[in-house]
Structure 1
Amino acid sequence: MTQPLLSIALLGALAGAPTQPGPKPTYRVAANWPVGGEGGWDYIAVDHAGGRVYASHATQVEVLDLANGHPVGIIPNTAGVHGIVVAQGRGYISCGKTNSVVEFDPQTLRVTASVPAGAKPDALCYDEFSKRVFVFNNGATTATVLDAATGQPVGTAELGGAPEAGVSDGKGTVFVNLEDKNEIVAFDAKTLAVRHRWPVGPGEEPSGLALDRAHRRLFSVCGNEKMVVLDADTGRPVAVLPIGSGVDGVVFDDARQVAISSNGSGTVTVVHEEGPEKFTVAQTLATARGARTLALDAATHRLYLPTADLGPAPAPTPAVPHPRLSTVPNTFRVLVLE
């Protein structure tokens, strides 16, 4: 392709023109990295520049070499660990059982500070526009806002519902799913003022959220086995796609124009964006039961999913009336898809 044609195609994409139909990407399980240990897990994060994968696990974060999955170290004492993010030379971990965020040095893995958050801090989101980390407090209706360069709290966003995963558009707006309201809230990354509230239509209990920044499309994955696509400027419903059960994560690969949901039932669903108004399920790939969250390395297009072998659920208690399935000791691992 000559340079003038390339420029025209690029300008069309930036303007939101329909993408050109091409081969639909497919994936395979390329590697299985054993980690071991006991306990459950939640989110996983990739730091491509640092060459590391961070996997939440029980009361610690497992740190693995991005190239081969070999253990690099652990970050201990992160009770109720959920989300991990590395930004501005610092790492942040949400600890749901202590209502705090642990700050660590990505080079040494040494914990450098602990910052109070709201009730049950869960997912984290870094916004490069404001250079802030947003800590979504699932046990409250707020997000604790940190200066990513210093770790200092700079505000609290009132969201009006229990937040799950969030995503930034890089231009000053942060979007977040409200699990109990079946809504997406869009708010200003600097003033923290809510700009929009949009229902996810037929979707119920939205968890993971991803964004196609070029074409302004949000992908909200929901507990009733639906991926809902919305216009990120107006909230207009664009499409609804079937996915697997037990979903908790979704990513969007800009280069491949696919949204991939991780379904705890043991599959990933690959949705191809053929154009801003046309979406199709390109692949349903078997992974492993329990692999409900994932992370994307945008530089290599590889996907990373934590899981472990599952056993029977423990007996219900008043404190935990609906316990999750137990995990088989020493089976915790990370699946690598490419």
Structure 2
Amino acid sequence: MKKILSPLLAITIVVTNFSVLSAQNNNSYKVEKILKIGGIGRWDYLAVHKSYLYISHGNQVNVVNKNNGAPISIISGTTGVHGIAFVPELNKGFISDGRIDSVTVFDLSTNKVLSKIATGKDPDAIMYDDYSKKIITCDGHSNGLSVIDPITEKVVATIDLGGKPETAVSDNAGKLYVNIENKSQIAEVDLKTNQVLNHWSLSPAESPSGLAFDTKTERLFAGCDNNLLVVMDATNGKIVTTLPIGSGCDGVAFDAKSKHIFSSNGEDGNITIIKEKSKDNFVVEQNLITKKGARTIALDEQTHKIYLPTADFETNKTVGKRPTSIPDTFQVLVVEDKL
């Protein structure tokens, strides 16, 4: 994703009930607890698989129990790690290693590294498209996508997007939609031909990062830098509406059961929660206080809980300088609907 913040090596297990930070309105979503991971290092995406959280952290992936933060394993050698994707039917996981232009393949049962796959430059977001049965990386410095066959573990296609990709989502029917950060667009990609079909403008929104999709209503949800979330019709690229969100969004999630859209806003330290009342009717229901730096997000589709990584930060007195994270404060916030 965009900016990777800092608190890896030491892991502590502490689960803290969350109370002080959520002094706000009486809406239904609350921060249930904090999973204390510890260690030092930057972070980006995290992902849920069965009972585990896979968390990008420096040059490794921390695997922890999603319920209590207990350490399960460390997957090392993932230099510049960004994201994690899973292919359960092959019992394989895939990790994007941005600084070494590769993807790490690992065994889902043992978390042991199996192989490395060379990709385009700076693979960032990574996903598994169940329709095409392919792993796809957003290669930020190559302005394109790498399409990987998870069986042969080879790149079978590269797709030039004409701009820097941030996040990709699938319609589960052969189409892919990709946020183009530096052009404020969404690219529509045909995975049957590996061709770009359209570039759709997100204006007046700028610099999109997080992206989610409701396959039933065919609505895309793009979180953008200028405090806007854009709802776009995926059938024609027309903007349905824009909604206000917090500052520093770097992740968007959609819960198909509750019909809620979540924008994680790291600079403001909150989540904007938007209700999809119908395909063309959206309303901001809640701005939940989280913590500074909690900018990426993962939704557990089994429990409908939300996970956000962050850390505690030193007081920064230098104007314009990014705050420094405090060692051993790396953590994951757990959010759920308490109603």
Structure 2 equivalent of residue 156 of structure 1: 158
| CA displacement 1:36-66 (0-9 Å, x = unmatched) | 0001100010113xx2110101111010112
What percentage of residue pairs aligned between the two structures are identical?
44
Q: Aligned pair 1:308/2:295, yes or no?
A: no
Does the 8 Å contact 1:258/1:273 carry over to 2? yes
What does 1:117-196 align with in structure 2 at a 5 Å threshold?
Answer: 117-196=119-198
The equivalent residue for 2:225 is 223
Confirm whether residue 250 of structure 1 aligns to residue 252 of structure 2. yes
Match of 1:54 in 2: 54
Contact 1:173 1:186 in 2 (8 A): yes
The aligned residue for residue 215 of structure 2 is 213
Structure 1 residue 326: Cα displacement:
1.9
For residue 11 of structure 1, what is the aligned residue in structure 2?
none
CA distance in 1, matches of 2:270, 2:68: 23
Q: 1:326 aligns with which of 302, 324, 327?
A: 324
Equivalent-residue separation in structure 2 for 1:124 and 1:323 (angstroms)? 30
What's the counterpart of residue 70 of structure 2? 70
Match for 1:53: what amino acid? L
Residue type of the partner of 2:119?
Answer: A
CA pair 214-61 structure 1, distance change in 2 beyond 3 A: same
- State the distance in 2 between where 1:313 and 1:96 align: 28
Q: Partner residue of 1:84? A: 84
What amino acid maps onto 1:332 in structure 2?
A: F
Task: Structure 1 unaligned segments of length 5 or more: list them.
Answer: 1-24, 317-321
Q: Residue 276 of structure 2: which of 269, 273, 277 is its match?
A: 273
| Secondary structure of 1:149 counterpart | coil
Instruction: Supply the distance in 1 between the matched residues of 2:120 and 2:321 (Cα, whole angstroms).
Output: 24
Give secondary structure in 2 for the equivalent of 1:282. strand
Cα gap change, 1:63 to 1:314, in 2 (>3 Å): farther
CA distance in 2, matches of 1:323, 1:165: 27
User: Matched residues in 2 for 1:216 and 1:26: separation?
Assistant: 26
- The aligned residue for residue 5 of structure 2 is none
CA distance in 1, matches of 2:28, 2:199: 34
Find the aligned partners of 1:150 and 1:314 in 2 and give their Cα distance. Answer: 52
Question: SS of the residue aligned with 1:97?
Answer: helix
Shift of 1:332: 0.2
Secondary structure of the structure 2 residue equivalent to 1:39: coil
Distance 1:44 1:99 in 2: 19
* Shift in Å, 1:334: 0.6
**Partner of 1:190: helix, strand, or coil?**
coil
Contact 1:104 / 1:112 at 8 angstroms: preserved in 2? yes
CA offset at residue 268 of structure 1? Answer: 0.3
Query: Is the Cα–Cα contact under 8 Å of residues 131 and 149 in structure 1 kept in the other structure?
Result: no
| Offset, 1:184 | 0.2
C-alpha displacement of 1:150: 3.4
- Counterpart contact for 1:314–1:326, Cα < 8 Å: no
CA distance in 1, matches of 2:47, 2:323: 23
User: Who is 1:337 aligned against?
Assistant: 335
TM-score, L = length of structure 1: 0.88
2:112 pairs, out of 79, 88, 110, with 110
Q: How many residues align?
A: 307
Give me the whole-angstrom Cα distance separating, in 1, the residues matched to 2:59 and 2:260: 33
Secondary structure in structure 2 of the residue aligned to 1:108: coil
CA distance in 2, matches of 1:153, 1:313: 44
Shift of residue 325, structure 1, vs aligned partner: 2.9
CA distance in 2, matches of 1:103, 1:198: 33
Deviation at 1:152, TM superposition (A): 1.8
8 Å CA contact retained: 1:230, 1:238? yes
The equivalent residue for 1:22 is none
User: Counterpart in 2 of 1:295?
Assistant: 298
More displaced 10-residue stretch of structure 1: 189-198 or 275-284: 189-198
Unpaired runs of at least 5, structure 2 = 1-26
Residue 312 of structure 1, CA deviation? 5.9
Summarize the Cα distance change of 1:235–1:89 in structure 2 as closer, same or farther, 3 Å threshold: same
The normalised TM-score by structure 2 is 0.87
CA 159–60 in structure 1, closer or farther in 2 if over 3 Å, else same: same
